[in-house]
């Protein structure tokens, strides 16, 4: 109630004024369209609790005020508004009439101007066309040269005139296209030109590859032509040097339009009419079309990529060089294999030489020299390997001639070939080896076909024929009438002729090696020495060792080697006549034939002694002694008599050798004496070994007597002088050991032997105590065995016992002598 009363109470005057002012501001804000209403309305509701009601009251009061003002204004203007409406109604009819007139007038005007408009539009269209045509003509005048140049470019590309096409492209890019560059076709054209350049590069590179493949196929022909012309030139120069006047100056060959010694491009003088009539000289242009190289070089130069082209060309040529230098595995089997190999290499470097001089900088002299040095090392290695497989001297000689022509050809083009000539010296050694092998078979065939008997000469023509082939001079034989015999066998003149043939064959290799006569002479002498000391000497040694060569053949071989030794001086004269080098020149090599044939003679003599001893051993093996016999047969054994007869017939061969001169007589006599002494010593030694054989346990005195008979036959043979020339009983001394030993047992003179032992005048000086002891023990065992068989006779048993005691006493004394000798030694 209090609140209501309080609420009903009127507000104080100050408070009313304040509220009036606030609500007035709010309403003013509401009436203003620029201010936002949200804030204003919020201020009304955010105020006092009853503010809304009071605001609404204020708002209603304000609305009533405005309504009163509007009413006053309407009342004030009402009459004017009515008058305006009345006037407007009057004007409405006039306006409609005017509208009809305007519409009619517009229609007539439109109909009247329609034809004019059509004609005007036609005039405008014509003016536009005329302007466009003028513009088009102007632009076409600018574009036609571009199109013409592009058409020209296409035509040049079609006919593969790539260098001209590149020039046309350059004109298009620098002069024509910039003037019309805003056109699309020009932009397309400008974008196409780099692609065309790449196409030209690709096409030219393809042509270069075809060229490289072509020259690889034609290198063989180029090299063949170059080497043939080089050989002709060499032959011509050799022929001219043999003439007294040298008037020819015309170059004979040139694959690059130059002589081999012209490397500066100088032209030669014009020849005479006869020279012009000669066969036309082929050049590299005649065999290979070099235009792809020139064209590709110009193209890459214009494109600013010359270095790339040079590097590619050199890289490819290096690869081709490696392929060319790779030989076929069977190249060493035929001459054609080597010829094709050399032709390809020469063709390769002739092309490079042409490129070097026909272009500027594509290849340099340093590059070709580097390529040649690489190739030269490979060539030398290949030739060294393949030549080692060759065992045919004719093929090696052909190889040498091809190497010389190959070297001369490339030397003519400025390449250094000294290493090739050094290689030829290695191949010369190989050639000599093949010659030695070939002549070894020749010598073996000669020796196999020889009959090893003196050469019979029936007529003077035969004699002259032999003397022409072999330097034989003997005054005594020349005086003899026909028919007669020469001391050597047929192999001697054949061997001498073959040695000369070997010298000729060796000389062939030394030709054209650019060596002095002294060097050639030294080569010939060294190779001949190898033939004599190694090949011929080896063949002689093998011949001497062959089983079928008998004593007669060995004696003839000794005679043959003597004549060959004497002919060595004529071989030296033969070499001197070939080389024109005096044998008195310092460092001249001498032939070693003397030592060779002396060694062969010594080997033959030794083989004679060996074969004699072997034959003696064969007879000794036939011996069949009955070592337990009680008495001898009274005659010598059959095997021994056969042996002595064999020795007699053998030594008669020596005595019947042709002693046409003192040398032959001395030689045959010496050999016969040595052989006879050797045979007797070997026979005596073999008989002594038979007695002292450890497997022989006992010997009877009867067997000793039979053995003594055989030794007596040997002594009779020695004393019969089977070979003349021995002094006194020299030959009999070979059996002195056997004789004294047998005498000791035959006489049973042990007291004398023991008493005189060690004295120089002893009767049994050659009897060794150990030998006597061994034989005595065997005799002792034989006597014991004999006494057992004869034990029925008591008187024999007593004699045997006495003899047994004597033997035991002698054995003891002999053993003491043997022990004393061993202690003393």
Rounded Cα gap, residues 201 and 197, in angstroms: 6
pLDDT at 477 over 90: no
Position with higher pLDDT, 647 vs 727: 647
Task: Tally the C-alpha atoms within 13 A of residue 110's C-alpha that lie toward its C-beta.
Answer: 6
Residue 91, domain member (yes or no): no
Phi, psi of 75 (to 5 degrees): -60, -35
Which tops the pLDDT comparison, 165 or 660? 165
Among residues 609, 642, 668, the one where a domain terminates is 609
Query: What does each C-alpha distance from 155 to 151, 152, 158, 204, 455 come to in angstroms?
Result: 6, 5, 5, 17, 94
Q: What are phi and psi of 406, to 5 degrees?
A: -60, -45
pLDDT score recorded for residue 263: 40
Specify the pLDDT at position 282.
58
Asked if 794 and 713 count as a contact pair (C-beta separation under 8 A), the reply is no
In a domain? residue 54: no
- Judged against a pLDDT cut of 80, whether residue 653 lies above it is answered with no
Do 571 and 677 reside in the same domain of the chain?
A: no
* Helix (H) or strand (E) segment spanning residue 544: helix 537-545
Q: Answer yes or no: do 447 and 556 share one domain.
A: yes
Answer whether residue 668 shows pLDDT above 70: no
pLDDT tens for residues 85-115? 888 888 888 888 888 889 988 888 888 888 8
d(CA 549, CA 607): 10
What CATH number has the domain bearing residue 667?
1.20.58.670
Domain endpoint, select from 609, 637, 663: 609
Asked if residue 680 has pLDDT above 70, the reply is yes
Are residue 559 and residue 596 in the same domain, yes or no?
yes
**Measured CA angle at 742 (ends 737, 748), to 5 deg:** 130
The count of domains in the chain is 3
Q: What is the mean pLDDT of residues 55-66?
A: 84
> Residue 395: its pLDDT value, please?
85
614 located within any domain: no
- Residue 426 covered by a domain: no
pLDDT of the residue at 776: 86
395 and 461 share one domain: no
pLDDT of the residue at 641 = 92
Identify whether residues 652 and 718 lie together within a single domain: yes
pLDDT in tens, 224-257: 888 888 778 777 776 676 564 434 333 333 444 4
Residue 651 lies in a domain: yes
Tens digit of pLDDT for each residue in 794-823?
444 566 667 778 888 888 888 888 887 766
In a domain, 299, yes or no: yes
Based on the domain organization, do 291 and 411 belong to the same domain? Answer: yes
Q: How far apart are CA 669 and CA 654, in angstroms?
A: 7
Please check whether residues 338 and 476 belong to one and the same domain. Answer: no
Q: What is d(CA 764, CA 776) in angstroms, rounded to the nearest whole number?
A: 15
Least confident span in 112-126, 378-392, 793-807: 793-807
The percent of residues above 90 in pLDDT, for the chain, comes to: 5
Do 687 and 710 lie in one domain? The reply is yes
Residue bearing the bigger pLDDT, 786 or 308: 308
> Residue 162: which pLDDT band, with cuts at 50, 70 and 90?
confident
CATH number of the domain to which 539 belongs: 1.10.357.30
Domain identity same for 546 and 480 = yes
**pLDDT at position 6 over 70:** no
Q: At what angle do helices 662-691 and 701-719 cross, to 10 degrees?
A: 180
Overall average pLDDT of the 116-141 stretch: 88
Among 584, 609, 634, the domain-final residue is 609
Enclosing H/E stretch for 554 = helix 551-566
* Structural domain containing residue 722: 623-822
Same domain assignment for residues 599 and 637: no
Residue 209 binned pLDDT confidence (cut-offs 50, 70, 90): confident
Q: Contact 431/388 with Cβ under 8 angstroms?
A: no
Residue 751 within any structural domain of the chain: yes
In this structure, the answer to whether residues 536 and 641 fall within a common structural domain is no
Residues 643 and 581 occupy one common structural domain:
no
Closest by CA to 420, choosing from 367, 371, 366, 381, is: 381
b (16+ CB within 10 A) / e for 763-800: ebeebebebbbbbbbbbbebbeebbeeeeeeeeeeeeb
Q: Residue 479 has what pLDDT?
A: 81
Q: pLDDT confidence of 126, banded at 50, 70, 90?
A: very high
Q: Assign 527 a pLDDT band (cuts: 50, 70, 90).
A: confident
Determine if residue 566 is left, alpha or beta; phi over 0 gives left, psi from -120 to 50 gives alpha, anything else beta. Answer: alpha
Q: For the chain, what is the mean pLDDT?
A: 79
pLDDT tens per residue, range 608-641: 888 888 888 988 898 888 888 888 878 888 998 9
CA 337 remoteness from chain centre = 14
Three-class DSSP labels, 193-207: HHHHHHHHHHHHHHH
Flag whether 58 is in a domain: no
Which pTM does this prediction carry?
A: 0.64
């Amino acid at each position: 109630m209090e609140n209501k009363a309080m609420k009903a109470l009127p507000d104080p005057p100050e408070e009313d004024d304040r509220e009036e002012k606030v609500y007035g501001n709010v309403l003013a804000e509401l009436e203003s369209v620029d201010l936002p209403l949200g804030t204003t309305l919020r201020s009304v509701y955010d105020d006092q609790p009853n503010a809304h009601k009071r605001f609404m009251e204020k708002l209603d009061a304000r609305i009533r005020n405005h309504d009163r003002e509007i009413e006053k204004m309407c009342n004030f203007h009402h009459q004017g508004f009515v008058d305006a409406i009345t006037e407007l109604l009057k004007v409405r009819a006039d306006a409609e009439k005017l509208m009809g007139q305007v519409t009619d007038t517009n229609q007539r005007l439109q109909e009247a101007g329609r034809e004019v408009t059509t004609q005007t539009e036609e005039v405008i269209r014509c003016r536009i066309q005329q302007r466009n045509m003028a513009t088009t003509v102007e632009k076409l005048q600018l574009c036609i040269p571009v199109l013409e140049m592009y058409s020209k470019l296409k035509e040049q590309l079609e006919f593969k005139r790539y260098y001209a096409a590149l020039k046309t492209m350059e004109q298009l890019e620098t002069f024509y296209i910039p003037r019309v560059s805003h056109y699309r076709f020009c932009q397309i054209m400008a974008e196409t030109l780099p692609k065309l350049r790449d196409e030209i590069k690709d096409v030219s590179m393809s042509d270069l590859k075809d060229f490289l493949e072509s020259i690889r196929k034609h290198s063989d022909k180029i090299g063949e032509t170059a080497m043939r012309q080089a050989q002709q030139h060499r032959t011509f120069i050799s022929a001219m040097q043999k003439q007294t006047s040298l008037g020819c100056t015309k170059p004979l060959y040139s694959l690059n339009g130059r002589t081999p010694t012209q490397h500066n491009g100088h032209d030669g003088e014009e020849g005479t009419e006869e020279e012009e009539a000669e066969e036309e000289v082929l050049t590299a242009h005649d065999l290979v079309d070099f235009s792809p190289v020139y064209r590709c070089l110009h193209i890459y130069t214009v494109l600013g990529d010359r270095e790339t082209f040079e590097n590619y060309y050199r890289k490819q040529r290096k690869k081709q060089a490696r392929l060319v230098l790779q030989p076929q595995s069977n190249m060493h089997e035929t001459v054609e294999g080597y010829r094709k190999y050399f032709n390809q290499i020469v063709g390769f470097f002739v092309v490079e030489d042409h490129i070097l001089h026909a272009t500027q900088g594509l290849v340099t002299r340093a590059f070709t020299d580097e390529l040649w040095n690489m190739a030269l090392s490979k060539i030398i290695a290949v030739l060294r390997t393949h030549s080692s497989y060759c065992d045919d001297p004719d093929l090696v000689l052909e190889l040498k001639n091809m190497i010389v022509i190959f070297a001369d050809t490339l030397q003519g083009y400025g390449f250094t070939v000294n290493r090739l000539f050094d290689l030829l010296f290695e191949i010369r050694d190989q050639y000599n080896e093949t010659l030695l092998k070939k002549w070894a078979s020749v010598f073996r065939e000669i020796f196999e076909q020889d009959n090893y008997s003196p050469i019979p000469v029936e007529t003077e023509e035969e004699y002259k024929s032999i003397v022409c082939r072999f330097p034989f001079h003997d005054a005594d034989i020349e005086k003899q009438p026909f028919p007669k015999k020469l001391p050597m066998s047929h192999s001697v003149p054949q061997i001498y002729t073959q040695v000369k043939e070997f010298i000729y064959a060796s000389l062939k290799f030394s030709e054209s090696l650019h060596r002095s006569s002294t060097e050639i002479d030294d080569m010939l002498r060294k190779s001949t020495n190898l033939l004599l000391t190694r090949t011929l000497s080896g063949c002689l040694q093998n011949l001497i060792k062959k089983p079928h060569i008998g004593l007669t053949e060995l004696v003839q071989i000794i005679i043959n080697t003597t004549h060959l030794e004497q002919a060595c001086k004529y071989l030296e004269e033969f070499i001197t006549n070939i080389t024109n080098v005096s044998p008195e020149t310092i460092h001249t090599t001498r032939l070693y034939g003397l030592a060779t044939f002396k060694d062969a003679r010594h080997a033959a003599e030794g083989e004679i002694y060996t074969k004699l001893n072997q034959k003696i051993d064969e007879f000794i093996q036939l011996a069949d002694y009955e070592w337990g016999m009680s008495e001898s047969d009274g005659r010598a054994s059959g095997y021994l008599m056969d042996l002595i007869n064999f020795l007699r017939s053998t030594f008669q061969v020596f005595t019947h050798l042709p002693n046409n001169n003192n040398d032959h007589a001395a030689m045959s006599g010496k050999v016969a004496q040595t052989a006879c002494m050797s045979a007797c010593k070997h026979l005596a030694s073999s008989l002594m070994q038979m007695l002292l054989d450890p497997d022989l346990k006992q010997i009877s005195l009867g067997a000793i007597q039979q053995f003594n008979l055989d030794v007596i036959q040997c002594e009779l043979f020695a004393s019969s002088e089977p070979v003349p020339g021995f002094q006194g009983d020299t030959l009999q001394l070979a059996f002195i050991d056997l004789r004294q030993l047998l005498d000791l047992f035959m006489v049973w003179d042990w007291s004398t032997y023991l008493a005189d032992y060690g004295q120089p005048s002893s009767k049994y000086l050659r009897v060794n105590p150990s030998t006597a002891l061994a034989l005595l023990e065997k005799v002792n065992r034989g006597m014991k065995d004999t006494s057992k068989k004869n034990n029925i006779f008591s008187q024999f048993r007593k004699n045997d016992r006495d003899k047994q005691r004597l033997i035991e006493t002698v054995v003891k004394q002999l053993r003491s002598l043997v022990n004393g000798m061993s202690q003393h030694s």
